[in-house]
Amino acid sequence: MNTAITLVGVLLIMVGLRDMFHQLLHPPSHGSLSRGVFTVVWRMSRVIKHRLGTAVGPGAMVLVIALWVQPAVAAIALEQLTRDTSQSCIDFNQYGETYYFREQHADLSLARYLPYTLEIRAAAGASTSPDVQLSGERFGFALQKLSEKLSHEFLSGNTPQEVFAAYAADHRAHQR
């Protein structure tokens, strides 16, 4: 399954790069993605009788760039979450006493936001982008490892949901 997702991700990247090359570096030829977006935007402009005037062209270009960049940005953000979650697990392994440290401001507390990471993981899994799905799988693995570390050393719970909820409750109970 991971191989198939990776291959689809590589294919999407190749299509995007091909489109960028043809649109930006080889102007006599047009990228198929760009041409499709420009065609749809132009037709919509004609339907509304060109009320947007000259903003249609630049708006379409911004839309094309957003389509090129969006999957990569989403995947990079989840990869950063994966690295940060893995680092937290390492910190708990090497410096177990950090579990007992409490943030002065609850808004900065890992314990407060950790339960919401499961929602981010679920959203990544439901994404249509293979890159985002793969990043979500990696993030889910890191969350599972962190959950196991917390449950074996500090808390009880059988699932990440239970462990992260217990972590949040424990830290909420001891807030200053």
Q: Which pLDDT score, from 0 to 100, does residue 161 have?
A: 95
Calculate helix-pair angle for 2-20, 56-94, nearest 10 degrees: 140
47-80 pLDDT, tens digit each: 887 777 777 778 877 887 777 777 777 778 888 9
Instruction: Report yes or no on whether pTM surpasses 0.85.
Output: no
Give 74-77's long-range contacts (Cβ < 8 A, gap of 24+): 74/124, 74/127, 74/129, 74/131, 74/132, 74/135, 75/129, 75/131, 75/132, 75/134, 75/135
Residue 10 pLDDT > 80, yes or no? Answer: no
> For the chain, what is the domain count?
1
Domain that holds residue 113: 2-173
